Structure 1
Amino acid sequence: MKRYDLTEDGYRRKFRTCKPAEGESPDMFIVRIVTYLDRWIELSKTDKSYEKLKDLIVREQFMDACPEELATSLREKDLPTLERVAKEADLFLRARNRKLCDQPRKLFPSNARPRMDSVRPLEPEKRFNGGQRAGEAKTSVADQRSCVKCKKTGHIAR
């Protein structure tokens, strides 16, 4: 199951990151999303009551927002309730004399890619052309030397 990412965490990630497949209708996509959610809930052994589902989703949001080291520690303990998560997180932070906001999470999760609209292309004057800025004349050491025969710059006698 772990090899194919068919675990609680695998279905949680599939639920959170799924995108419509080529040729998939809205109905088919919604069915796939619901299937991922159902498997995530089932594998987490969460009752399908409002309170338990709310607890599961808030727990997951907390884990995603807190420092990675803390989230890893909490996931290893497999804590069943938000109260237990809060107590264990508090103990973890106090034992290390740290605060919840000390370490921000990575900008992009390891399995996510930045959107293209968030990447700015370089301005033309900042692009490089062979080590020179665009629009600048190339001047090299050879251009500054003078010819031993005619005493002009830009070339040398061979």
Structure 2
Amino acid sequence: MPSKSICPTEALYIEHNTWLRCWFRSRTQCACQAEDLAQDTFLRVIRRRGQLQDQPLREPRAFLATIARGLLTDHWRRRELELAWQETLAQLPEESIPSPELGLVLFETLTEIDQMLDTLKPKVRQAFLLAQLEGCTCRQVAEQLGVSRATAERYLAKALRHCYHLQYEP
């Protein structure tokens, strides 16, 4: 019976999946969440398959941990957003609470906006949020950030260009 050759990605999974699940479990305190995050890690590995090529990795756990840390950061950020969303819904009058379907669409949109804003520099993001959510003028944004009006205008223009490019450019 001919032996089946194992590809590097499959070997990586076989050798390190248990370790990775334990790594996630120690950080999330939840076996189910750890399992999901470990699977997401290997999905990312599969998407990056070109990096593995036919050679084994010199530091496979370091490679996996780098991907895993990014996923864990995304997980905690999404969790914080979910909690804030739940708190917001709890404060709404009952007749204003969206249906579960609309609520999901709104939450997914909020998640996309959060991801878009996360790629901005902190002052640019803060300027954008002050203008868009609090209705601050450029002068008010400048005062709150302790920058000139021209700088506040540049921050806002940069944020708007960034959002436009993410939304409409491939």
Higher helix share: 2
Q: Which has the higher contact order (CA 8 A, sep 6+)?
A: 2
TM-score (norm 2): 0.28
TM-score (norm 1): 0.30
